[in-house]
Every structure is written in structure tokens, then in C-alpha cells.
Structure 1
């Protein structure tokens, strides 16, 4: 299950955003940087760990996800898609993932869990790009793609704003999210690897 399979649906909703970005003269690379800035703002808000900041963080992380779709659509609209833009987008996405997970981790002080979570997320993304590098094609599948993670982070941010008490094994909803990323992230990486191996 992954929301990345609905990218075409999101693309159809992008028209007004793409036209607005083009009208004010934003380049796709500038939109990618704005998306990263939103992720850093989300990380800072989550690190505070207070209700109003969890709400702010949720809004920022969802904005990051939306702008991450807009940049590619804008590049196609302006007919300026390039390998350099694709590289910048991927690098900023990885740093955005690290920043937001670090923010959640600092907010609840679960550093070991945060480490395993971020390595799971990075391995999921690494497998997607490595599969592309060996010529099979970009892989968005798996148990949790980036769109799924962003949606979950946004939802968890909103839930944590109203309920931060422990839920299971002493973990609150943020801790459970990190545990999910830790477990499912590595499983998704393995799933992508096995699928690609079969296609070689």
C-alpha cells in the first residue's frame, strides 16, 4: 500500500499551483528549496514538542509534501526538466526526511528509536534510486513510500497536539510513528530489493 500510486491524481490538482508559481517567476529548483524550508520548519516545530507546535509542524510537513509534487509539475509545465533538477530534488527530499524525523525524535527524546527510524527511511529511498541507477526504472512501491510517510507525519502531528500520553509500551503516538518507520522502512527496503532482483 502506497500513496505514491496516486501521483497522477495529485498531478491533476496541481494546475492552479503550477500556474501561480510560473506567474511569479519561481523555478522548479526554487520550489524544491521552499519545500525543504517547510520541512526544516516542521522539524523545528516537532522538536519543541508542544501542542501548538505539533499543529504547526503538521501543516509544514504537509506543505513540504505538496511542494515536492509542484516542483516536478512546474518543470514539466515550463519544459525545463533536467537531471540536475532531479538530483537536487532527491537530495533535498532526503535531507527533509532526516530533518523531520530528527525533529520528532528530539521532541520525545527517543534517540535510539529515531536513529533506527531514519535509517529505515533512508534505506527505502536509497533502494528506489539505486534500482533506477541499474536501469530497471524508478521504484515507488513498497509498504511505505514517501507520500505515505508524509501523510502519517502530518496526521501524527495533529494527533499529538491533542493526545500525547503513552499508548503502547510507554510510547506515545510520535514514538509509535518512529517505531513504524523503523520496522516498515527496513521491510520496504528489502521488499524493493527483492522485487528489483527478480527483474534483473
Structure 2
């Protein structure tokens, strides 16, 4: 089970944040843009963590968690304000994909492992694509598989915190380098899982 499937169970924890954003006049689209801003800052921090000072990894990890949290809040805020729309859903998903690309790009640029970054980002994008393509061919949107977006952000954030105290290379790669390997392998495996699930469901 992926963390994406737990979203309905965390709604009660969102209420104070949703009420706060609603009180200050924030729109769901505004929260989506804010979440994307956190992803950009996280990417910059990952670059600085790899090239300047590892303490930046801690800030990057916190920003990744904040991006994930805001990504949950924007949908809850749309329901609270009764403004949920296809346009808002489109904006949210587009910004999520760009956020994924930016964050992984920051990880790769920080440790200068661009090929691993390419493999990781294509795995992540294909995972998300297969999830929504199932809906495009008449099935429900697929969130299952080894790793969903919520899982991925949690893992990136956790490894980001560990990357500060755990320096050096292991098997020729830093901890962040191994994170890119993990994202590449698991991303493509998850995409294939979603493909075969959808293919079977269409038969």
C-alpha cells in the first residue's frame, strides 16, 4: 500500500491548516503554486548540499516535506471552499510533475550524477503518467504500485535528513547517489506495475 492511499484518513489533521488558508483568502490554486515554490527551493538546497555544505540537505528535506503537505492541503481547501474543478485538478497535476522534475534535478545536479538523474526522473514521470493514463482509457486513476508520490517525497525527505550526518561514498556513490538509483529502479518498476494492472483491467 502506498501513502497516497492514506489521504482520506489524514483529513482531520488538515482542518486547522485548511481553515487557516481559507481565513487569509488563499485559493487552492494559490496553494498549488506555493507548493511548487517549495519544490524549487528544495532543489536549490539540494544543489547547495552537494556542492557547498551538507547542512543544506536538512533544509532541502524540510522543504520536500512541506511540498508534500501543501499538495494534500490544496485539494482539501478546494473541497472546503466548494471550488473543486477540472482546471484546478489539471494545474495541480502539472505543477506536481514539474515539482518532481525540479526536485530530482536538484538532487542530480548537487552530486553531478546527471545520467542517474535522467533515469530517476523518467521513472517518476512514467509512474505518474501511467496513473492518469489509466483514467484516460476509462479506468479509475491508479495510485497503486511500489511507490507513489507521497511515498517518494517521504523517502526523499528522509534521505535528505540523513545525507547531512552521513557523508562519503559507498560503492562509489554518495547517499544521494544511491537515492537516485532507488528512484530510477523503483520508479520504472512502479510504472510497469501500473501498466500491467491497467492492461489486465481492460481485457
Q: Distance in 2 between matches of 1:93 and 1:141?
A: 17
Query: Which aligned pairs between 1:46-85 and structure 2 lie closer than 5 A?
Result: 46-49=46-49, 50-85=53-88
Cα-to-partner distance string for 1:13-65 (whole Å, 9 max, x where unaligned): 10000000000000000000000000000000001122221011001010000
Q: Which residue of 1 aligns with 2:3?
A: 3
Structure 2: 5+ residue runs without aligned partners? Answer: none
Any stretches of 5+ residues in structure 1 without a counterpart?
none
Report the counterpart of residue 38 of structure 2 in structure 1: 38
Aligned to 1:122: 125
CA deviation after TM superposition for structure 1 residue 10, in Å: 2.0
Equivalents in 2 of 1:4, 1:80: separation in Å?
A: 22
Corresponding residue for 1:137? 140
Report deviation, 1:151. 0.2
Matches within 5 A, 1:84-99: 84-99=87-102
| C-alpha displacement of 1:172 | 1.7
Q: Please give the TM-score of this superposition, normalised by the length of structure 2.
A: 0.96
RMSD: 0.8
Deviation, 1:4, is 1.1
The alignment of Structure 1 onto Structure 2 pairs a total of residues equal to: 199
**1:103 correspondence with 2:106:** yes
- The equivalent residue for 2:172 is 170
1:195 is displaced (CA, Å) by 0.4
How far off its partner does 1:166 sit?
Answer: 1.3
* CA distance in 1 between partners of 2:122 and 2:27 (Å): 31
TM-score normalized by structure 1?
0.97
Of 9-18 and 146-155, deviating more is 9-18
Q: Shift in Å at residue 12 of structure 1?
A: 2.0
Equivalent in the alignment of 2:25: 25
